[in-house]
Structure 1
Amino acid sequence: MNRKLILCLVLTLLCVKALKAQTRLKDVLLSKYYRGSLASVFDSIAVDHNLKFSFDRERMRYSFAERYADMPLDVALKYICLEYGLKYYVGADNVIFVLDKKQKIDPITMASATQQIGEKATIAAVKHNYILTGRVIDASSGESLPYVSIGISGTKLGTATNADGYFTLNKVPSDTSTLAINYLGYNKTSVHLNPDLPKTGFIIELKPDNELEEVLVVADKEELMKVSEKVSMIKMSPQKLAMLPNVGEKDIMRSFQLMPGVSASNESSSGLYIRGGTPDQNLIVYDGFTVYQVDHLYGFYSAFNSNAIKDVQLFKGGFEPKYGGRLSSVTEITGKEGNSRGFNIGGDISLLSLNAYVESPLGDNVTLLLAARRSYKGPLYNKIFNKFNSSNSSTAQQRAPMGGGPGGRGNAFDNATTVSSYFYDFNGKFTYKPSKKDVLSLSIYNGTDNLDNSQESSAPSFGGGGGGRGFGFNVNDVTNYGNLGGSLRWARKWSERFFNTTVLGYSNYYSDRDRSNSNTITDEDGNSRDIKTGTLENNDLKDITFKSDFEYAWRKDNKLKFGAYGINYAIKYTYSQNDTSTVLDRHTSGNVAGIYIQDQQFLLGDKLSLEPGLRFSYFDQTSKTYTEPRLTINYKLNNKLMIKAATGKYYQFANRVLREDVLSGSRDFWILSDNNNVPVSSATHYILGASYETHQYIFSAEYYYKDLKGVTEYSLRFNPSRGGVSYEENFLNGIGYAQGIEFLLQKKIGHYNGWISYSIGEARNKIEAYSPNYYAASQDVRHELKIVNIYKLGRWNFSGDWVFATGRPYTAPQGGYEITLLDGTTQSFINIGAKNGSRLPDYHRLDLAINYELRGADSGTNIGSIGLSFFNVYNRKNVWYKEFQIADNQVVETNVNYLGLTPNLTLTLKLR
């Protein structure tokens, strides 16, 4: 009896201590935010408040976001346990035991402990059908994350963050709902709401999924690419580009070429040929300003440094009225702001270029990011440069007269070739956040290519005696092109429902090309005569843009977008032949101004989403207003099956016109429409598609049709009217259309993932000067099949892609002849066949890549990678284009091929 009494007294004392401990937890106020793993958070709380925690560290590696400041510890622990499926006890000795629901503590401790949160604990909702606003940021850098998908589990409700990471989520069923957060390159995250969390200014932190092995997560991770629920939209993760094979650089544009509807058979162009369109019909926006030159090194690499890019999304058609001025598609790129939580530096070195970046906070509200990249004369650069210039060099050598001593066949020329070639680009971004509602940023970009493959030859005087005739021969082959751009941007959150972004942007595209031959002939009397032949081209485009975009969630089931914009263009183009004849000299300027409005409505229990919109544009060169109606429809039949449709009218005022050149290869140049020789081009889109998505897979199919008007080319094959030279008549105008079907099967998650895409389509034009009937456009590719495979094994990543495409069309000469002019020179004349009446052989290649992730010795976090890739593994001789020369009145055809087997090695390092 005494023993039982003593035991009861002991248990009573223990319970009293436990109750005191419970009371103590209520008195502990978490006065600051904590982040990291749960284990590190518990350690920090214990130090800050002189507490003791007991837990299994291997089971407490969940990622913890800073959501519970200014909250009593017992309330915070309750929400933490409910969010992560845990339970906690307060022991008699003031130890706080935290366990998962499968764990148990020993009976003696259990007898003296008070359970605070058990297996069946729930939270009663306080608020229903309310509006939740907040912001999504990167957990490690503090950068805002744009266009993050946020849904409410168990419902069809959802939204996306804007370019600054802010979101407004309407009609949240209750303040105990669960949010599902998805963003490419980051861990999928579930956030369990509770009544004590803020309803406004709610911060959600996401961790990059390269930390997957360090942190246990609630759901699966996203990978490199995702097809959006929006019609014809694809998202790409810049952080994951190294997983794919590449020629020499992590390349956003090249990666998009592996997606359905984007042609992958143009190795010499990192621009996007989308659904039968051309690269100039793709609007590329970088931090609010337009980029006109998107490639380096003759088109083999894109001009965008992936280390400076935070987010990129591609609209292949049917895009909303916020965007305009292009016929085909929109690529929106958001640059990084810079790390706000610490200094970071990193970079890449490959067989092609050096790439470095630095980011750092400058005080509490300012961040800075600088990134630079420059090529160097490595084996890969030289291989590409020589491949592009081999035909030009051989042509120059054939044209250079050969001489020798009397009776000999030797070459007496002194040849000097000075090859000076490189590219570089620079990105800078300065971001200032004066308040929680304002973001000010200055973004700068400059990308330049300097390509010089000139040659100089000379021969000593020859003839009898000490005098004689001399000969000098110079081949100029100089190309300089690039893009300078920048933007000043102000984003403001006026209220929880009203956002505004205002941008002042500037862009300057420039291109100078000198392809001329200079001959200096000295006669026996010492008199010299210069003969210069060839072409000179100069193209310069300046674009000053002002735009202001507004977004207002005015009702729970409506979101209104509207804005205004103005663009000033100044474009000049000069094309000269033989140093004396100016073929074309145009200097034009003009202004475009307009407004747009779009409404998003949810009907039929949020199953049906309608987005009607209008865009009005006034162009002063034609004194006309152009109306562009747009409509997008999404209908969710169930949680897996969705039907999508879109239509819209689109106008383009600055066009890149193709200049046809059968022998030397066609080129293009930017020019402003004038509604006379160069009309305002237009397109009408019709899109219908469906997608079926499960936990691991997605299957989608889309049909598209584009009706084109104002298709313009420039050709010198037709003589201008007699009675005077008027090369303006060589602008040829017509119409066209493009249609096709795209299919995609993607495995989204897991150690093995990838996709298979197939596209069948056609792009056809009709320009009366070429043919009264429709003919294949130069970018017409009937069939394309792409297979992409990615496998992750620990710190190893293995990937491969195979691409097949039917041949592109080209115009072939049917015959030719040469005549000798009075001055002794020769001139070639050709008979041209049907416009694009021939086709190149089918294109296919296999690429492979291996990447190994580097980890810090102490921290175990990702600090870089080593990558080895092989482009065109089986050395397929894919035809780039064909060259034609006239020899003995016969047309001689030569294939110029793309790159063969090309290996590349890349080392990537970063501080954090």
Structure 2
Amino acid sequence: MLRPKPFHFLFFYLFLVLNVYAQDKGNVMPLKKIITEIEQQHQVNFNYTEENVANFLLLPPKSSLSLEQKLQYLTRKTNLSFENLGNKFINIYKKNNDSKVICGYVFSNIDKKPIENANIHLNSITHITTDSNGYFEFEKGSKNIFFISHVGFMVKKITTANLDSQNCLKIILEPEITELEEIKTNPILASGISKNSDGSFEIKPKKFGILPGLIESDALQTMQQIPGVNSIDESVSSINVRGGTHDQNLFLWNGIRMFQTGHFFGLISVFNPNLAHTISIYKNGSSPFYGESVSSVVAISSTPETTEKNSFSAGINMINADIYAKYNLSKKSYIEISGRKSITDFVETPTYKEYFNKVFQNTTITDFSQNQNINYKSDKEFDFYDATLKYVQKLGLKDQIILDLITIQDNLKVFQSADSYNINKSEDNILRQQNYGGNLSWKRNWNSLNTTKINIYNSSYELLADQKTTTGNQIVIQENTVANNGINLENNHTINSKFSFHDGYQFNEIGITNLEQVTNPDFYRKTKDVLRTHALILEGRYNDTISRVILNAGIRLNYIEKFKKYIPEPRIQFNYGFNKNLNLELLGELKSQNSQQIIDLQKDYFGIEKRRWIISNNTTIPIQRSKQISLSLFYKKNDWLLDIENFYKKVNGITTASQGFQNQLEFVRTTGDYEVLGTEFLIQKKMNHFLTWLSYTYNNNNYHFSNYEYPSFPNNFELIHTISWAGSYEKNNFKIALGTKWSSGRPKTSPDISKIDLSDPVLVYNKPNNTNLNIFSQVNLSSTYKWKMPNGIQYKLGISILNILNRKNEISEYYRISSLSNSIEDVETFSLQRTPNLSFRVSF
């Protein structure tokens, strides 16, 4: 029997209502779960307290609704306030408590990201922290002030008296920038020597351990232990980095360019080892803020990284005596002085005698012409000194002024007398070399992210020889002077924790004068050249410790006024860590140089310091330009260290006069380039108090002179193979080091005997640098011991022996026609013989 249609309709309606009711009741959710779903759907973050969202059960809004519509729906259903901040953060609080709640978000000013776990200090005992979104809230009480702090950020003070509690605060914290020492591979070669992530080597003389043959942290002697750095004649005035000449290196002392680097004509550094705080050495990849060099950069800073207490020290060795003093004038200022002087005025020690014999062999000081009718006598006086002064003044919290002064001088007086045909003649001869410099710098920290530094500098150099002959009534005066001054502006900007950039401007003026005056016959020549250069600099730095990538890249744009010439110089430093033990490093640079040293005649300036500075004229004396790239792997683990580096370097614009030829090219004037391909290898192991290392360097270094009959031949400064080994032991206050250095002989040119008429000889040479000197080998030892007395005075005793085995090492050889015998004479120059040194120092 069929039921009536109205019954069917009522039955269907009742079923539908029950079904809908059942579905609605089943879909009711806790408010916290609804919030979580909205966060996932719209990529937002809700901030709330648990008590505000608890006990709410309701139907979720339709997923098709917009974020704003969903918030409006929840507001109607819960009577809560939902504050939307840029569709990113949503704050939830109760409407009836609005006037009593303070809430906010804390962000970093570096990357604009939320700061988690920032501390909100409400009083001495109560504080809360921010969540992962940087959010916080608390009930507004009687306190009108609270503080926000976090490690690495400056504390911020907030006043709540007049705040609108309807809206959450947006608080930005400024980073507290603190200069931290870069993590370095320390030690390398010795304590106090490390390698930075930018490829540079850094020496801290006050933390210096010990190296063979050194009892003091002489900057220029120490750097010769680094693979790729040599001195072809054992002189700190002839340091060759990857085949370059000494003048192609840039030496800076507190921002002042130094044109004289050695005392005793190269055997001692002019930089007081008891003064320097940091020495940075760049073989490649130097910052674009360094100009005027096509080889290495040696930057010495005597400004300490942290405030130091008053101190005084004095010392003496078998060559010189020195003093050092630092005195704090106030909490914001101090003065620092140092002075050093040779003791040769008072005593001729065995060390001095060995140095003297090394420096003056085969020069006009000892190489007088011999004639049966003439009896020569000679007496020599030699001394040197250097002095520095530093004054530091802090002005307020943001400014600092530093004044640096340095003076250096070497003096040689030679008294010559001759008896000729019962007639006595005597003359005084003078050779003086000096360098003065000054730098005034101002540094301002505008805020924690931006600093500016301006420095004005001047450097003056003079080389003077006044030579008189006792037989020919001839006077020869030679003078070479350099005046260098300029201004540097540098700005540093920190963008975030990973990226910073630096920009600046540099103006440099250099004037060089050369004077020659001769009597009998009369001759006078004086030349002066001035060059002004402007440079714009931009450098960016990226350091990501998570991905282990460090990238420094920049460019230096030089403009030379006289030549109206622009020279761009890009630089790059890239370091990638495969893991915490293995690093890959890529360095590259283009550089240029406008001044250089040349030798006109080998007997200029007594044949001792025969090089003179000149300025490029962009024609016969080109601007020197270099390009270099290197790739290295650096591995360290379990006190093992391995560093292998391959490099390519080419320098254009060199002149034959700058290379010190003593063969058929001595009087040839032409230009060309040299090209070096090499490998540097270092392996080191530290075992408790013992450190040992072995280094090897390979160089293939060739000249290219396209206008010469031999367009390509080995470089004068080529040392194909160099091997060094050292072992040192340091425990408590005792240090000892033993080491050896071995290198293949430098190139030389032999005469072609088959083409020389021995009855009337005229030198005829084989191809330039067709052979080599004998192997160079030397063993050195050094040791120091220090002790401290109860009254706080510290004493230090040191001893060193160079060339323990007293090996006779030839360092140069050339040929000349003897005027006495009318024959070919082979002239050899040798390195230091066995040379002891002893030092004593007291400090407090």
User: Structure 2 length as normaliser, TM-score?
Assistant: 0.73
When residues 680 and 264 of structure 1 are mapped into structure 2, their CA distance, relative to the original with a 3 A threshold, is closer
Select which of 649, 662, 666 maps to 1:706: 649
Equivalent position of 1:121 in the other structure: none
- Report Cα offsets for 1:731-782 as digits up to 9, x if no partner: 4211221120111113367411242211101222122454442212221111
When residues 584 and 744 of structure 1 are mapped into structure 2, their CA distance, relative to the original with a 3 A threshold, is farther
Select which of 413, 430, 439 maps to 1:452: 413
- Report Cα offsets for 1:485-540 as digits up to 9, x if no partner: 11001111111111111110101121123455331xxxxxxxxxx5438x653211
On the 8 A contact 2:655/2:669 being kept in 1, the answer is yes
Deviation, 1:577, is 6.6
Equivalent position of 1:743 in the other structure: 681
For 1:765 and 1:449, the matched residues in 2 are separated by 34
Q: How does 1:113-262 map to 2 (within 5 A)?
A: 175=151, 200=176, 223-241=190-208, 243-246=210-213, 250-262=217-229
For 1:228 and 1:896, the matched residues in 2 are separated by 35
For 1:768 and 1:557, the matched residues in 2 are separated by 48
Aligned residue identity for 2:287: E
CA RMSD of the aligned region, Å? 3.6
Equivalent position of 1:75 in the other structure: none
For 2:770 and 2:515, the matched residues in 1 are separated by 30
When residues 835 and 582 of structure 1 are mapped into structure 2, their CA distance, relative to the original with a 3 A threshold, is farther
Aligned residue identity for 1:253: L
For 1:272 and 1:228, the matched residues in 2 are separated by 20
Equivalent position of 2:98 in the other structure: none
SS at match of 1:831: coil
Q: Which runs of 4 or more aligned residues in structure 1 lie more than 6 Å from their structure 2 counterparts after TM superposition?
A: 126-132, 203-206, 219-222, 662-666, 715-718, 815-820
Select which of 749, 764, 776 maps to 1:831: 764
SS at match of 1:382: helix
On the 8 A contact 2:654/2:673 being kept in 1, the answer is yes
For 1:266 and 1:686, the matched residues in 2 are separated by 27
Equivalent position of 2:537 in the other structure: 596
On the 8 A contact 1:499/1:552 being kept in 2, the answer is yes
For 1:432 and 1:394, the matched residues in 2 are separated by 48
Equivalent position of 2:779 in the other structure: 846
Equivalent position of 2:358 in the other structure: 387
State yes or no: 1:561 paired with 2:502: yes
State yes or no: 1:361 paired with 2:318: no
When residues 770 and 437 of structure 1 are mapped into structure 2, their CA distance, relative to the original with a 3 A threshold, is same
Q: How does 1:841-880 map to 2 (within 5 A)?
A: 841-859=774-792, 863-880=794-811
- Report Cα offsets for 1:653-673 as digits up to 9, x if no partner: 112234464996994321111
- Report Cα offsets for 1:343-392 as digits up to 9, x if no partner: 32102100110011111011221101110001112312233113333434
Select which of 607, 612, 624 maps to 1:669: 612
Aligned residue identity for 2:776: Y
Aligned residue identity for 1:402: N
When residues 396 and 845 of structure 1 are mapped into structure 2, their CA distance, relative to the original with a 3 A threshold, is closer
When residues 338 and 430 of structure 1 are mapped into structure 2, their CA distance, relative to the original with a 3 A threshold, is farther
Unaligned runs of 5+ in 1: 1-125, 133-172, 178-196, 207-218, 404-412, 462-469, 520-529, 719-727, 821-827
For 2:602 and 2:205, the matched residues in 1 are separated by 37
For 2:215 and 2:187, the matched residues in 1 are separated by 31
Deviation, 1:799, is 0.8
State yes or no: 1:570 paired with 2:508: no
For 1:713 and 1:906, the matched residues in 2 are separated by 42
Aligned residue identity for 1:697: W
On the 8 A contact 1:492/1:499 being kept in 2, the answer is yes
For 1:716 and 1:237, the matched residues in 2 are separated by 33
When residues 809 and 202 of structure 1 are mapped into structure 2, their CA distance, relative to the original with a 3 A threshold, is closer
For 2:207 and 2:709, the matched residues in 1 are separated by 46
State yes or no: 1:696 paired with 2:639: yes
Aligned residue identity for 2:593: Q
On the 8 A contact 2:228/2:242 being kept in 1, the answer is yes
Deviation, 1:337, is 5.6
Select which of 379, 399, 412 maps to 1:438: 399
For 1:597 and 1:706, the matched residues in 2 are separated by 24
When residues 504 and 745 of structure 1 are mapped into structure 2, their CA distance, relative to the original with a 3 A threshold, is same
Deviation, 1:248, is 7.5
Bigger mean CA offset, 744-753 vs 848-857: 744-753
- Report Cα offsets for 1:406-459 as digits up to 9, x if no partner: xxxxxxx5x653311111111110111112322211001111111223411234
SS at match of 2:767: coil
Equivalent position of 1:24 in the other structure: none
Deviation, 1:291, is 0.8
For 2:466 and 2:764, the matched residues in 1 are separated by 27
On the 8 A contact 2:232/2:717 being kept in 1, the answer is no
For 1:628 and 1:514, the matched residues in 2 are separated by 41
On the 8 A contact 2:248/2:293 being kept in 1, the answer is yes
SS at match of 1:359: strand
Deviation, 1:272, is 2.6
When residues 351 and 323 of structure 1 are mapped into structure 2, their CA distance, relative to the original with a 3 A threshold, is same
Identical positions, percent:
21
When residues 536 and 830 of structure 1 are mapped into structure 2, their CA distance, relative to the original with a 3 A threshold, is farther
SS at match of 2:481: strand
Q: How does 1:49-128 map to 2 (within 5 A)?
A: none
Deviation, 1:812, is 4.4
Bigger mean CA offset, 606-615 vs 426-435: 606-615
On the 8 A contact 2:191/2:209 being kept in 1, the answer is no
Equivalent position of 2:319 in the other structure: 352
Bigger mean CA offset, 537-546 vs 743-752: 743-752
Equivalent position of 1:792 in the other structure: 730
SS at match of 1:555: coil
Deviation, 1:647, is 1.9
- Report Cα offsets for 1:175-201 as digits up to 9, x if no partner: 499xxxxxxxxxxxxxxxxxxx99637
Bigger mean CA offset, 363-372 vs 661-670: 661-670
Deviation, 1:608, is 2.4
SS at match of 1:224: coil
For 2:264 and 2:659, the matched residues in 1 are separated by 27
Select which of 464, 478, 492 maps to 1:512: 464
Equivalent position of 2:126 in the other structure: none
For 1:221 and 1:772, the matched residues in 2 are separated by 42
- Report Cα offsets for 1:796-852 as digits up to 9, x if no partner: 1111221111111234455778999xxxxxxx9533443333322111111111211
Deviation, 1:205, is 11
Q: How does 1:390-409 map to 2 (within 5 A)?
A: 390-392=361-363, 396-402=367-373
SS at match of 1:386: helix
When residues 503 and 586 of structure 1 are mapped into structure 2, their CA distance, relative to the original with a 3 A threshold, is same
Deviation, 1:547, is 0.4
Bigger mean CA offset, 560-569 vs 885-894: 885-894
For 1:204 and 1:323, the matched residues in 2 are separated by 23
SS at match of 1:429: strand
Unaligned runs of 5+ in 2: 1-104, 112-148, 154-172
Q: How does 1:26-65 map to 2 (within 5 A)?
A: none
Deviation, 1:323, is 1.1
For 2:189 and 2:366, the matched residues in 1 are separated by 51
On the 8 A contact 2:237/2:265 being kept in 1, the answer is no
For 1:510 and 1:176, the matched residues in 2 are separated by 50
State yes or no: 1:651 paired with 2:592: yes
Larger radius of gyration: 2
SS at match of 2:318: coil
For 1:798 and 1:584, the matched residues in 2 are separated by 54
SS at match of 2:240: coil
Aligned residue identity for 2:695: S
